[in-house]
Amino acid sequence: MHQEKNQRRRFLKNITALGAMTMLEAGSANALPLAGNKEGSGFTFLFQGDSITDGNRTRNSDWNHVMGHGYQYIIASKLWYDFPAKGYHFFNRGISGNKVTDLAARWQKDTLELKPDVLSILIGINDVSAFINGDKKFSAEQFELGYRALLIETKQALPGIRLVLCEPFILPVGRVKEKWQEYSDEIEQRGQIVKRLSVEYNTVLVDFQNAFNKALTKAPAEYWIWDGIHPMPAGHELMAIEWMRQVDKKWKIIR
């Protein structure tokens, strides 16, 4: 009888210990990832581009809207939440309708003076549209010249900056579908330019076009991009995931 009581006590003790361990493991799994990697602490991230990046952001200090809506908002929200100890700063300076020439006109104020540690650029679709609509000043050759000039200016002013170059993208919806071959040819040329510049300047490359092409195996084009140019909510989530995946592959600043 005494032996049976001892066995019962040992059994209850083991069950209690196992339950405590399970609770600790569950708590650990749900905890914020505040791990010891301090690389990137205090970094400023700047997103530059056109309407896709603009996302109807406010031009004031209203933090409810200052990042706009879209991939850049999702990235900032995720990284701010996951890494509060790193003290990240995020800025959005995308402006709807911008081309490379527009970026150049405001580069000093909207980029260099902010002194970002990480600069993400997504530009090109408005250059393509202008060229297709007959303005030959926005050829692929001029796109490369202007883009390269921006990168040279940036590296000279901020030699330690980390660059993220994002390829422009389209899907066959709306007016883009109506001129699909023209849009495809021009966006492909600018995508190849971004790839070359990425290699030349040792940047992260985010191939959004490839990511959207792969997404077509899951849902039709309209599910991802409503007008062939501007993403649906799922498209912005796709962009945020791909951006963070590529940045994480090259640097250890978001882990």
End-to-end CA distance of the chain: 56
Q: Which residues contact 63 (CB under 8 A, 6 or more apart)?
A: none
H/E run at residue 148? helix 140-157
Instruction: Identify which of 174, 87, 100, 179 has the alpha carbon closest to the alpha carbon of residue 140.
Output: 100
Residue carrying the six token digits 């422009």:
168
Any catalytic annotation for residue 89? no
List 50, 51, 127, 198, catalytic entry: 51
Is 51 an active-site residue? yes
CA 80 to each of CA 38, 45, 54, 66, 74: distance values in angstroms, whole numbers, following the listed order: 14, 11, 19, 14, 10
Catalytic member of 129, 207, 230, 236: 230
Q: Scanning the structure block, which residue is given the tokens 């021009």?
A: 186
Spatial strand order of the sheet with 162-166 comes to 89-92, 44-49, 118-122, 162-166, 204-206
Q: Which one of 82, 102, 110, 227 is the catalytic residue?
A: 227
The question of whether 227 is a catalytic residue gets the answer yes
Task: Report, as residue numbers or ranges, the catalytic residues.
Answer: 51, 227, 230
